[in-house]
Chains A and B, each alone.
Chain A
Amino acid sequence: NAGVTQTPKFQVLKTGQSMTLQCAQDMNHNSMYWYRQDPGMGLRLIYYSASEGTTDKGEVPNGYNVSRLNKREFSLRLESAAPSQTSVYFCASSEIADTQYFGPGTRLTVL
Protein backbone atom coordinates (compact mmCIF):
# COMPACT_ATOMS: atom_id res chain seq x y z
CA ASN A 1 0.00 0.00 0.00
CA ALA A 2 1.98 3.00 -1.30
CA GLY A 3 -0.61 5.72 -0.48
CA VAL A 4 -0.09 8.76 -2.72
CA THR A 5 2.82 8.71 -5.14
CA GLN A 6 4.17 11.53 -7.29
CA THR A 7 6.63 11.69 -10.15
CA PRO A 8 9.10 13.18 -10.73
CA LYS A 9 10.66 14.11 -7.38
CA PHE A 10 12.72 16.94 -8.86
CA GLN A 11 12.57 18.84 -12.15
CA VAL A 12 14.37 21.80 -13.68
CA LEU A 13 12.73 23.54 -16.63
CA LYS A 14 13.58 26.51 -18.80
CA THR A 15 11.03 29.29 -19.20
CA GLY A 16 8.48 28.32 -21.84
CA GLN A 17 8.96 24.55 -21.55
CA SER A 18 6.05 22.30 -20.70
CA MET A 19 5.77 19.34 -18.37
CA THR A 20 3.27 17.09 -16.62
CA LEU A 21 3.41 16.13 -12.96
CA GLN A 22 1.92 12.73 -12.26
CA CYS A 23 0.01 11.66 -9.16
CA ALA A 24 -1.54 8.31 -8.27
CA GLN A 25 -3.26 6.97 -5.17
CA ASP A 26 -4.09 3.39 -4.23
CA MET A 27 -6.54 4.13 -1.39
CA ASN A 28 -9.64 4.16 -3.62
CA HIS A 29 -10.30 7.78 -2.69
CA ASN A 30 -12.80 9.81 -4.69
CA SER A 31 -11.26 13.26 -4.22
CA MET A 32 -7.82 14.41 -5.35
CA TYR A 33 -6.03 17.76 -5.09
CA TRP A 34 -3.00 19.65 -6.36
CA TYR A 35 -1.28 22.24 -4.13
CA ARG A 36 1.78 24.38 -4.38
CA GLN A 37 3.86 25.36 -1.37
CA ASP A 38 5.99 28.49 -1.31
CA PRO A 39 8.01 29.78 1.67
CA GLY A 40 5.82 31.58 4.21
CA MET A 41 2.61 30.91 2.28
CA GLY A 42 1.43 27.51 3.47
CA LEU A 43 -0.27 25.30 0.90
CA ARG A 44 -2.36 26.88 -1.84
CA LEU A 45 -4.88 24.86 -3.84
CA ILE A 46 -4.34 24.85 -7.60
CA TYR A 47 -7.04 22.43 -8.81
CA TYR A 48 -9.09 19.67 -7.32
CA SER A 49 -11.25 16.79 -8.46
CA ALA A 50 -14.16 15.82 -6.23
CA SER A 51 -14.74 12.62 -8.19
CA GLU A 52 -13.67 10.87 -11.37
CA GLY A 53 -14.66 12.97 -14.36
CA THR A 54 -14.87 16.32 -12.55
CA THR A 55 -12.28 19.03 -11.97
CA ASP A 56 -12.52 22.51 -10.45
CA LYS A 57 -10.25 25.50 -10.01
CA GLY A 58 -8.73 26.30 -6.67
CA GLU A 59 -7.11 29.46 -5.40
CA VAL A 60 -4.22 29.72 -7.91
CA PRO A 61 -5.17 27.92 -11.19
CA ASN A 62 -3.61 30.30 -13.73
CA GLY A 63 -0.91 28.67 -15.85
CA TYR A 64 -1.98 25.11 -15.00
CA ASN A 65 -4.28 22.43 -16.38
CA VAL A 66 -5.32 19.13 -14.88
CA SER A 67 -6.63 15.76 -16.01
CA ARG A 68 -8.41 13.20 -13.84
CA LEU A 69 -7.43 10.22 -15.94
CA ASN A 70 -9.30 7.67 -13.80
CA LYS A 71 -10.11 7.21 -10.12
CA ARG A 72 -6.43 6.59 -9.25
CA GLU A 73 -4.62 9.23 -11.29
CA PHE A 74 -4.67 13.03 -11.35
CA SER A 75 -2.08 14.90 -13.42
CA LEU A 76 -1.03 18.55 -13.42
CA ARG A 77 0.29 20.17 -16.59
CA LEU A 78 2.30 23.34 -17.03
CA GLU A 79 1.92 24.36 -20.67
CA SER A 80 4.50 27.18 -20.70
CA ALA A 81 6.51 27.28 -17.50
CA ALA A 82 7.37 30.61 -15.88
CA PRO A 83 9.85 31.39 -13.06
CA SER A 84 6.85 32.25 -10.82
CA GLN A 85 5.91 28.57 -10.98
CA THR A 86 9.07 27.56 -9.14
CA SER A 87 7.65 25.80 -6.10
CA VAL A 88 7.09 22.49 -4.36
CA TYR A 89 3.99 20.73 -5.65
CA PHE A 90 1.95 18.33 -3.55
CA CYS A 91 -0.80 15.99 -4.61
CA ALA A 92 -3.34 14.80 -2.03
CA SER A 93 -6.36 12.55 -1.87
CA SER A 94 -9.26 12.12 0.54
CA GLU A 95 -12.31 10.00 1.19
CA ILE A 96 -13.45 10.91 4.68
CA ALA A 97 -14.50 14.53 4.64
CA ASP A 98 -11.54 16.89 4.88
CA THR A 99 -8.82 14.44 5.98
CA GLN A 100 -6.37 14.60 3.10
CA TYR A 101 -3.33 12.39 2.59
CA PHE A 102 -0.35 13.87 0.80
CA GLY A 103 2.25 12.60 -1.63
CA PRO A 104 5.98 13.24 -1.15
CA GLY A 105 6.04 16.31 -3.40
CA THR A 106 7.78 17.47 -6.56
CA ARG A 107 10.38 20.24 -6.33
CA LEU A 108 10.18 22.27 -9.54
CA THR A 109 12.62 24.99 -10.57
CA VAL A 110 11.94 27.15 -13.62
CA LEU A 111 14.95 29.08 -14.90
Chain B
Amino acid sequence: EDKVVQSPLSLVVHEGDTVTLNCSYEVTNFRSLLWYKQEKKAPTFLFMLTSSGIEKKSGRLSSILDKKELSSILNITATQTGDSAIYLCAVGSNTGKLIFGQGTTLQVKP
Protein backbone atom coordinates (compact mmCIF):
# COMPACT_ATOMS: atom_id res chain seq x y z
CA GLU B 1 0.00 0.00 0.00
CA ASP B 2 1.31 3.44 -0.92
CA LYS B 3 2.09 5.69 2.01
CA VAL B 4 3.65 9.03 2.90
CA VAL B 5 4.94 9.71 6.41
CA GLN B 6 5.91 13.09 7.80
CA SER B 7 7.96 13.90 10.87
CA PRO B 8 7.78 15.44 13.31
CA LEU B 9 4.00 15.70 13.60
CA SER B 10 4.30 18.95 15.50
CA LEU B 11 7.04 21.41 16.30
CA VAL B 12 7.32 24.57 18.39
CA VAL B 13 10.19 26.98 17.74
CA HIS B 14 11.04 30.63 18.37
CA GLU B 15 11.38 33.34 15.77
CA GLY B 16 14.76 33.23 14.09
CA ASP B 17 15.20 29.47 14.49
CA THR B 18 15.83 27.17 11.52
CA VAL B 19 13.56 24.15 11.11
CA THR B 20 13.76 20.99 9.03
CA LEU B 21 10.63 19.02 8.19
CA ASN B 22 10.88 15.47 6.89
CA CYS B 23 8.83 13.45 4.45
CA SER B 24 9.40 9.81 3.53
CA TYR B 25 7.40 7.78 1.06
CA GLU B 26 6.70 4.34 -0.32
CA VAL B 27 4.77 4.92 -3.52
CA THR B 28 4.60 2.74 -6.60
CA ASN B 29 5.41 4.57 -9.86
CA PHE B 30 6.67 7.72 -8.15
CA ARG B 31 6.36 10.81 -10.32
CA SER B 32 6.77 13.87 -8.06
CA LEU B 33 6.85 15.11 -4.48
CA LEU B 34 5.03 18.27 -3.49
CA TRP B 35 5.02 20.52 -0.44
CA TYR B 36 2.02 22.61 0.56
CA LYS B 37 1.47 25.16 3.33
CA GLN B 38 -1.91 25.23 5.04
CA GLU B 39 -2.84 28.13 7.25
CA LYS B 40 -6.45 28.53 8.25
CA LYS B 41 -8.02 27.43 5.01
CA ALA B 42 -6.87 25.88 1.73
CA PRO B 43 -3.44 24.32 1.22
CA THR B 44 -1.26 26.53 -0.96
CA PHE B 45 1.43 25.14 -3.23
CA LEU B 46 5.09 25.62 -2.27
CA PHE B 47 7.30 23.28 -4.32
CA MET B 48 7.21 20.35 -6.68
CA LEU B 49 10.28 18.12 -6.86
CA THR B 50 10.93 15.48 -9.47
CA SER B 51 14.71 15.14 -9.65
CA SER B 52 16.97 13.93 -6.89
CA GLY B 53 19.55 16.29 -5.43
CA ILE B 54 18.30 19.52 -7.00
CA GLU B 55 17.34 22.10 -4.39
CA LYS B 56 14.33 24.30 -4.95
CA LYS B 57 14.34 27.61 -3.13
CA SER B 58 11.84 30.37 -2.47
CA GLY B 59 12.97 33.06 -0.07
CA ARG B 60 13.67 31.45 3.30
CA LEU B 61 12.16 28.10 2.25
CA SER B 62 14.04 25.39 0.42
CA SER B 63 13.46 21.74 -0.33
CA ILE B 64 15.36 18.80 -1.77
CA LEU B 65 14.45 15.30 -2.85
CA ASP B 66 16.49 12.14 -2.28
CA LYS B 67 15.10 9.37 -4.48
CA LYS B 68 17.60 6.85 -3.18
CA GLU B 69 16.40 7.37 0.40
CA LEU B 70 12.77 7.91 -0.73
CA SER B 71 12.57 11.12 1.22
CA SER B 72 12.51 14.89 1.09
CA ILE B 73 13.21 17.71 3.51
CA LEU B 74 11.73 21.18 3.75
CA ASN B 75 13.95 23.78 5.42
CA ILE B 76 12.79 27.10 6.76
CA THR B 77 15.49 29.52 7.89
CA ALA B 78 15.04 32.58 10.14
CA THR B 79 11.48 31.53 10.98
CA GLN B 80 8.78 34.16 11.49
CA THR B 81 5.39 33.93 13.21
CA GLY B 82 3.82 34.01 9.74
CA ASP B 83 5.43 30.61 9.06
CA SER B 84 3.09 29.04 11.62
CA ALA B 85 0.99 26.56 9.65
CA ILE B 86 0.50 22.91 8.78
CA TYR B 87 3.03 21.76 6.17
CA LEU B 88 1.78 18.96 3.97
CA CYS B 89 3.89 16.61 1.87
CA ALA B 90 2.25 14.78 -1.04
CA VAL B 91 3.54 12.29 -3.58
CA GLY B 92 2.22 11.98 -7.11
CA SER B 93 2.30 8.80 -9.13
CA ASN B 94 1.46 7.77 -12.67
CA THR B 95 -2.17 7.33 -11.59
CA GLY B 96 -2.51 11.13 -11.52
CA LYS B 97 -3.48 11.08 -7.84
CA LEU B 98 -1.67 12.62 -4.88
CA ILE B 99 -1.07 10.74 -1.63
CA PHE B 100 -0.72 13.05 1.35
CA GLY B 101 1.17 12.63 4.58
CA GLN B 102 -0.37 13.50 7.94
CA GLY B 103 1.15 16.95 7.98
CA THR B 104 3.56 18.72 10.34
CA THR B 105 2.09 21.47 12.51
CA LEU B 106 4.65 24.23 13.02
CA GLN B 107 4.18 26.91 15.64
CA VAL B 108 6.60 29.82 15.68
CA LYS B 109 6.58 31.82 18.90
CA PRO B 110 7.64 35.47 19.04
List the interface of chain A (C-beta within 8 A of B).
4, 31, 33, 35, 40-45, 48, 50, 58, 90, 97-105
Contacts and interface: CB of A to CB of B under 8 A. Distances in A.
Contact of B42 (A33, A90, A97): A90
Interface string B83-97: 000001010100011
A100 B98 contact: yes
9 contacts: A35-B100, A40-B9, A48-B97, A98-B48, A98-B96, A99-B34, A99-B48, A102-B44, A103-B42
A43 B97 CA distance: 12
A98 B9 contact: no
Q: Max chain B CB contacts within 10 Å: which of A48, A58, A100, A103?
A: A100
A25 B106 CA distance: 30
Main secondary structure of the interface of B (DSSP, over half): strand
Contacts of B100: 35, 42-44
Contacts of A44: 100
A109 B12 CA distance: 30
Nearest to A40: B102
A97 B102 contact: no
Interface residues on B, range: 20 to 34
B42 A45 contact: no
Contacts of B41: 104-105
Interface of B: 4, 6, 9, 31-32, 34, 41-45, 48, 88, 90, 92, 96-98, 100-103
A98 B42 contact: no
A104 B41 CA distance: 5
Nearest to A35: B100
B88 A98 contact: no
A1 to B, nearest CB: 15
A45 B91 CA distance: 13
Contact of A42 (B44, B96, B102): B102
Given A40-B102, A98-B31, A99-B48, A50 B96 contact: yes
A97 B44 CA distance: 16
Contact of B34 (A40, A98, A105): A98
A93 to B, nearest CB: 12
